[in-house]
Structure formats: C-alpha cells, structure tokens
A and B are shown apart, each in its own frame.
Chain A
Amino acid sequence: MIHGDYSRHTGKILLAGLLSILLSGCSSLGVKPWERGTLARPEMALDSQPVASAMDDHIYFSKEASSGGRSFGGGGCGCN
C-alpha cells in the first residue's frame, strides 16, 4: 500500500516535470525548415535501427523487471 501511494506520487512528479519542459523554453530552440540536413541523416533518427532496438527491448524485457519508456513496454510474451 505504501508503495502504491509512493508510485502514484512519483507519477505526478514525473508528469509535472514533463509538462514544465513542454511549457518552458522549447520555442527558443530549433532551426529553420531548410536547416535540417544533418538532422535528416538516417543515423540521426531517434530510432535509427528499429529492428535492432526491438531485438534489444525483447532481451531486456525477459532479463530485467523494467520495460518500455522509449516506446511501448512490450509484452505479449510469457517470458516475464
């Protein structure tokens, strides 16, 4: 029970942190549309190796108690 409360509380803090990042100086960052040549390089994509990262996620899902975060937490697997 204590941990249930703790976790709910932490969730709120995390959410508040995310919102504050959202609302803060994002608008001062950035580049013009024609300045994205480097960012458009395939290796600069946030998930530049989707097949590899799915393999990794599956392994760590089955070996550790944590999953998800980057994308959905996986599941559909009787391995954990």
Chain B
Amino acid sequence: MAVAASGAAVVAVTDSSAVPRAACTPLRRSLGLATAALLAGGGASAGWLPDMQGWQTSAGLLLYSEVDRVRALEPVISARKALDTDEFLSLKLTVDTLTGASATGAVSSRLAQTFTRPSGNGRYQVGSDQTPLDDTFRDTRATINANWERPVARDLTLELGTALSREYDYRSLGVSAGLARDVNEGNTTVSGALSLGLDTGSPVGGEPIPFAAMQAAGSEQLRQGSGSDKQVVDVILGVTQIINRHSLFQVNYSFSNSDGYLTDPYKFISVVDPLTGDPVFDIAEQPDLPTIAYENRPDSRTKHSLYAHYKTAIDDKVLDGSYRFLVDDWGISSHTLDVRFRLPAERGSYWQPHLRWYQQSAADFYTPFYVGNDRPAAGDSARYGSADYRLGELTGLTVGLEYGRRKAGSGWSIAAEYYLQSGAEPAGKFGSLNEQTLFPDITVFMLRFIRDF
C-alpha cells in the first residue's frame, strides 16, 4: 500500500489533466480516502469523507392559499455543516410574504358595514352577509436561525441557538440552550432545554385602547401607545427511548410563559343590538361604521403540554404518529393527533400520506359579540374579550400526500396538503344573527417543495 500511495502521489503531481471530467461523478466519494493515501507519507492529517465536508443544504418553498383569504409564499434555505462527527453548525433563513384578507373578529350582518383601516386612513366596505375581512393584510417576515450542537462531556450534548426575526410591525429575538444526556447504553436520551424570546411590536396606527370604538376614517383613533413588548420563556423536558431495532418513542413536557402585550391590535368585537341582533350603528360622523370594541387579552399566558411521538419501521415502511395535549390558563385545552406513513416506491422514491386532527376548546374570554351594554367601558383593561376565531372552539383536519426521492445525502420532495378548519358556531345567537354564519369554515391548500443537496 505504501508503494501504491507514493506511486499515486507521483501521478498526482505530474499529471493533473489526463482524467476526463466525466470520471468525477462515480469517483467523487473516494476522494477522502485518496487524500489519506496521498498524505500518508507526511502523515499530518487524514482525509475527511466527502459527505462530511462542506454544507448539507436544504431549500424549500411553501405555497399557502386560504380560499378567499390569506395567501403566503415562504422560501426557506437551510444549511448544516458537520464540524466533527458529533459537532454541527446550522443556519437557516426563512422569508414569508403574506397578502390577502384576514378576519377582524366582527360579525357578518344582513346590513352592509364599513370599517376604518388600521392606519386610521381609508376605509373598506363589507357587504351584507359577508364575513368582515381586512383586505389590507400584507406582511413580509424574515427570520434567521443559527444553531450550534456540540458534545461537552461523554454522552452529554449541548445545543445553543438563536433566532432573529423581523417584519414590518414586529421584531423578535430569541436565544435557547439545551442539554441532552445519553444513558442506558445510548438507548435513552434525557434532555432539557430553555428558550427566551423578546418580541417587540409596533402595530400600524398604534395599540388601540381596550374596548374603545373604531373612529371614522380620517378622525383620530383611540390609541394608548405604539410599541409593545412580549417576553416568552419556554422549557422542554424530554425523554427519547429506543424500544427495539425498529421503533422508538419520545415524550416531552413543555412549559411556556408569555408576558406582555398579547392582544392582537388589529382585532375587534362587534356590538349588537339586544333586540334585533344587528350591529349597532351609532357613530353620527359616519353612519355606516358599526360600533365595535377593540379586543383585550390578559397580559400573561402559561401553557403546559405533553407530547408523545412514536416511530416504527415496518419492513421498509415507516409509521410516524404523535399526540399532543395542551392546556393553558386562558382556558384553552387542545388535542393534536398526527399520523404519517411512508411507503417506499421504486428507485429510492416514496409516497407519504399524512393525516392530522386538531381540536381546541375556547378561551374563557372568547366573545364573538357584545350585546348592547355588555360591552366593557373603553380603557377597562381589567376585563378581557376577543372575537378572534383562533381563540374559539374549533376543529382542524389536515389531509396530505407527499412524494419524494432520496439518494445518499440528496433528494427532493413535493407535498400537497388540504386543511379544513371548522369552528363551533357561538351559542347565544339571536335575532338576525341566527341567519349569519359567524364562524365560517376556512379551507387552505398548501404545496411544499423541498430540495436537499
């Protein structure tokens, strides 16, 4: 072998052009070893396998489209470098662009309604029997994530991460640290991680005064400030356990606490007439502007969740199932069930059907509408109310199918998903509200491409 190596070294030095380029592909993976042989005489350093050199990169694109509402485009590029066999650096850039119309929380009505845009300038009209949507919803967000994973002792891995995100009316900074310890011959991994986030919002037009009414376009809106912070602390404790040669599970307990401005400054609650159920129109300056109350949420939220994930290989197929139970101090509890089944097809390709079921109860302060004088006084921050459908009782069903192809470190996949969100119609509808669907179904189509190289 010593002879071969020195012989090769001679060839390498004297003849660098004789090899046709086409030879590169099948031989590329031998480079590391050849380098080792070449350097054997000097012995300074062995080669490194080509698949551990450079960056493993994934590029993704998500197309998201709600029927009649929001559309989003989300390109992602993510890269990971093995600094050693047990040390990794990952970087990720995500951009998402949203356009379209978003629900404001106001009820639909047999009467046409005109609302003022968040900026306070301009107005938009909502026809009779239409769900009020703010069609000025438009945003671009960019996020950078960096992660560093390295061993700090035998069987002990440290992971440090940071995330920075920026959008027109919001910015966020997060840091995280986690430790994972392998025990029981590497069959059990116990992990704990902490994440801290600091978000700063600066909503268009400023934060509305809680429960204050919307003013006519061009008039001064009732705002309490502009610039609102939120701090988020997350803790995850987890156990991953290998069951046998082809199955494993993970159980996580998560605690999350958010403090600060948790209200959605663009959402409000309709005030309806106690007799007719129609929105109240009592703003003299603009008679088609209904009286609404800007929402107000508690300034703290604590969530607990238990997550269980099971994965098993059945011959060359893989079954992946997870369940999450979540409960918070806003009165929301939810169940999420997710199942994927990966079926290999010809030449390294696969099909993967996906089913997800989600169900949540409503927040205690979920208020689809106020009846007449039930509306809290403007500025009464001790009371809470929100008509945001995402805080109501709802069920979500996702059905998806993915097709992909994977070979060594590279591959691609395409997935199509359909999401149907059905809310529970609020109890207590009366009068003309009985003819309205306050919580219409939301249908979403998603298309996702990912390329790994």
Contact = CB atoms under 8 A, between A and B. Distances in A.
**Do any CB atoms of chain A lie under 8 A from CB atoms of chain B in the complex?**
yes
Interface string A43-75: 110100111101100111001111011111101
B449 to A, nearest CB: 10
B255 to A, nearest CB: 7
Contacts of B324: 66, 69-70
A56 to B, nearest CB: 8
Nearest 9 CB-CB pairings of A with B: A30-B187, A76-B172, A78-B170, A69-B307, A11-B304, A69-B324, A76-B165, A7-B329, A66-B334
A30 to B, nearest CB: 3
A78 B188 contact: no
Interface stretch (B11-19, B34-42, B46-54, B241-249): B241-249
A3 B364 contact: yes
Given A7-B302, A26-B239, A75-B174, A55 B360 contact: no
A75 B108 CA distance: 30
Interface in B61-76: 62, 64, 74, 76
A60 to B, nearest CB: 7
B185 A78 contact: no
Given A26-B239, A51-B450, A33 B167 contact: no
A43 B311 CA distance: 10
A44 B448 contact: no
A70 B60 contact: no
Nearest to A11: B304
Which interface class (under 10, 10 to 19, 20 to 34, 35 or more) fits A? 35 or more
Which interface class (under 10, 10 to 19, 20 to 34, 35 or more) fits B? 35 or more
Given A27-B184, A63-B396, A68-B254, A14 B360 contact: no
Contacts of A70: 252, 307, 309, 322, 324
Nearest to A10: B327
B253 A14 contact: yes
Given A46-B309, A68-B303, A72-B193, A55 B448 contact: yes
B305 interface: yes
A21 B305 CA distance: 16
Interface stretch (B195-203, B219-227, B270-278, B375-383): B195-203
Interface of A: 3-4, 6-8, 10-11, 14-15, 17-18, 21-22, 26-27, 29-33, 35-39, 41-44, 46, 49-52, 54-55, 58-60, 63-66, 68-73, 75-78, 80
Interface in B427-453: 442, 444, 446, 448, 450
A55 B246 contact: no
B7 interface: no
Contacts of B391: 65
A18 B168 CA distance: 41
B240 interface: yes
B421 interface: yes
B363 interface: yes
B390 A80 contact: yes
A47 to B, nearest CB: 9
Interface in B181-230: 184-188, 190, 193, 195, 197, 199, 201, 203
B426 interface: no
B306 interface: yes
A66 B305 contact: yes
Contacts of B244: 29-31
Contacts of B186: 33
A68 B231 CA distance: 16
Interface in B148-195: 163, 165, 167, 169-170, 172-174, 176, 184-188, 190, 193, 195
